[in-house]
Structure 1
Amino acid sequence: MSSPFSAAQLAAITNAVKELFAAMFIGFCISTTLYGISVLQVYLYFRRYTKDRWALKTTVATLWTLDTLTTIFVAHSFFVFVLGILNLKNDIDIPWSFTAEKLLVTIITFISQCFYAQAIWKVSQKKATTAFITFLTVSSFSLGIYTTVHLFQNPALTSISTRGFLIISGLVQGLAALNDIVITGAFSYYLHVNRTGLPSSEKLIDTLIVYAVSRGVLTAIAQIMFLVLNVALPHRQFWLPFHMVVGKLYVNSVLTTLNVRQTLSQSEIQFGPGMSFLGKDIAEMNEQNQIITKPTSALVPNPSTFGSVRRGSGIADVEE
């Protein structure tokens, strides 16, 4: 019995299978590894920071729940995509799980960037900077919701390669990447301008700047690579690994920001047990007998970053 496909068609199908499987397999392996790291970070967070406010705990729990669902949806879409091509289907639709995972990644990006917008506001009190970051966050989120609705309404695989969809999808990744760069630059700038010249604070500020830059670079690179490969090669699947990992990079960046507080406080300044780091300035901590055990001065950013700072001076004066 002769094959309904010519040799050229079979070769094209084989290449498509190899490319799709390789792209999704690589993305799935990296994303599940990052998910394992996020599970560990969530465990450490709830074990170490029992005094954190309920709003912050809810944010962490929400991000972990969304991260778990994206892992499940990625696994399901991986199975459906590969199975469809192996069955030699020419009219494969985008699995609902793939579109749902895209929606959850959009929400994760929104929550994470709002988290950093609030952190920058509490460190700098600069309305213009915070407003610009918020504008980029809301714009990227709105366009991301639009593209998600479009995919639910047009599940054909060819719909993601149309010119209109590529333009809007490119804007989503471009705005998100720009926002990551702005957030990184704002953190670095406001930490730098609060330098005092004291060795203790200089070391801490350098540590915070290096961390802020590394955090922003990872998410920005993932968004930029997603954008470039998706727009430049719309009929190829090289962009899939970056799409599958970008949400997990955001989740891990927020969790690392929260979990690193204890390490920084122990290495630079020693606080009493049970300190929240959230919503408390130095005076309030002193009133609760959570006094630093050695005289020093350090810049510790306000809630949602690494600690608290007395408004006005930019420096927390420490008592003995």
Structure 2
Amino acid sequence: MAPVVIPGVIVSYITGPVVLGYMWSYCLYGMLIVQVYLYSEMFPNDSRGIKAFVWVLFILETIYTLLITIAAWNDYGPGWGDVDTLSVYDWSWVPLPALSGILAAMAQSFYIWRISKLTTKRWVPVLIGCVMLTQVTFACYYGIRVSVKGRTFTELFALSPEITLFLIGSAVCDLSITTTLVVVLSAQKHRTPFQRTTGLINKLIRFSVETGCLTSLGAIIDVILWLTTKEWNFHLIAFLVLGKLYSNVLMATLNCRAPIFRSESEATTIITMPQTSFWAEPRVKAAHESCPAVHISRNTDVPRDTETIVMTDFSPADSLVLSVAV
């Protein structure tokens, strides 16, 4: 079968990016399944609110994945070879902008909540929250407007200002969250005299930068592709993976508590070793005597200060705290 040729249109620039977006979205969804499973296994004592938050996030991502599966089937199944599929979005695309904005807002609201726990300057999380609400509002408006006016490329281009504000709002919110976390944690690092606490804060700063850069970079790439190549579909690659990128980064933040937030005041390791020629005593043992065991223990005392900053308070019964001298 000869390829479809439309004068002035490069068909591969319209269909190819969407295929890549579908595939990469499926990959991130698989990663999200693993992360949710690890979370449910490692942190069964988290508060009900956090657990409900995680499962609502996972359910929304599952709905998002089902919708793009329907879109992929309709475009490349029954719609294969139909020129109209190149200029009209499938009905399953209509909820995707709102879902993407909501998923981004859920991840951003979690970090805003953490910032409110780390700083006494209430205007900082309020300001970032306003940016977050702005981007999710334009995302929902974009989805509703397209569903009412029509799902053609013409209607999509007519909403260029709203889409641009939605994407820029996500990028600005991510950059603001990352910058605020780094500034707050750096200020606390200079106040503590404990080397162990300083090392822990350095890990937090590095992790905040790494995760914040992922979502910020994804949002910035989406803005650039939309503004420069909106007549093609390259911006849909970032659009289809951005929501799942937010979800995976959020789950990575929750799961990283296992190695990072280990603040036990005493750690004891007992190793039992069988009798060997190396460990044997020089005297001859009787047949009825049992083999001795070597017990090795390590006690680590972590100094505590009177004032603390709560870093992981997701469990209602047992909260872990990071000691910081102020």
* TM-score over 0.5 for the pair: yes
Q: Could you say which structure has the higher helix fraction?
A: 1
Residue 324 (structure 2) aligns with? 315
The amino acid that maps onto 2:68 is V
Aligned-residue identity in percent: 22
The amino acid that maps onto 1:146 is Y
Superposed, 1:72-151 pairs within 5 Å as 72-83=66-77, 84=79, 86-89=81-84, 92-151=87-146
The amino acid that maps onto 2:178 is T
2:261 aligned to which of 253, 262, 265: 265
CA distance in 1, matches of 2:46, 2:216: 29
Deviations 1:60-80 (A, max 9, x none): 001111111111111221232
1:39 aligned to which of 20, 33, 36: 33
| Deviation, structure 1 residue 309 | 4.3
CA distance in 2, matches of 1:199, 1:271: 15
Residue 311 (structure 2) aligns with? 301
CA RMSD of superposed structures (Å): 2.9
The alpha-carbon distance between structure 1 residues 91 and 187, as it changes in their structure 2 partners (threshold 3 A), is closer
**Normalising by structure 1, what TM-score?**
0.81
User: Is the 8 Å Cα contact of residues 109 and 247 (structure 1) preserved in structure 2?
Assistant: yes
CA distance in 1, matches of 2:133, 2:59: 22
The amino acid that maps onto 1:59 is F
2:204 aligned to which of 208, 212, 232: 208
CA distance in 2, matches of 1:160, 1:81: 19
Superposed, 1:226-305 pairs within 5 Å as 226-266=222-262, 269-270=263-264, 294-296=301-303, 301-303=311-313
The alpha-carbon distance between structure 1 residues 92 and 161, as it changes in their structure 2 partners (threshold 3 A), is closer
Residue 167 (structure 1) aligns with? 161
The alpha-carbon distance between structure 1 residues 150 and 272, as it changes in their structure 2 partners (threshold 3 A), is farther
| Deviation, structure 1 residue 85 | 5.8
Please tell me whether Structure 1 or Structure 2 has the larger radius of gyration of its CA atoms. Answer: 2
Matched, 1:65 2:59: yes
1:189 aligned to which of 169, 180, 183: 183
Residue 276 (structure 1) aligns with? none
The amino acid that maps onto 2:224 is V
User: Is the 8 Å Cα contact of residues 200 and 296 (structure 1) preserved in structure 2?
Assistant: no
The alpha-carbon distance between structure 1 residues 144 and 208, as it changes in their structure 2 partners (threshold 3 A), is same
CA distance in 2, matches of 1:151, 1:170: 15
The alpha-carbon distance between structure 1 residues 213 and 101, as it changes in their structure 2 partners (threshold 3 A), is same
The alpha-carbon distance between structure 1 residues 160 and 261, as it changes in their structure 2 partners (threshold 3 A), is farther
CA distance in 1, matches of 2:208, 2:48: 25
The alpha-carbon distance between structure 1 residues 78 and 127, as it changes in their structure 2 partners (threshold 3 A), is same
Unaligned runs of 5+ in 2: 268-298
Deviations 1:14-63 (A, max 9, x none): 831x2233212211221111111110111111111111111100000011
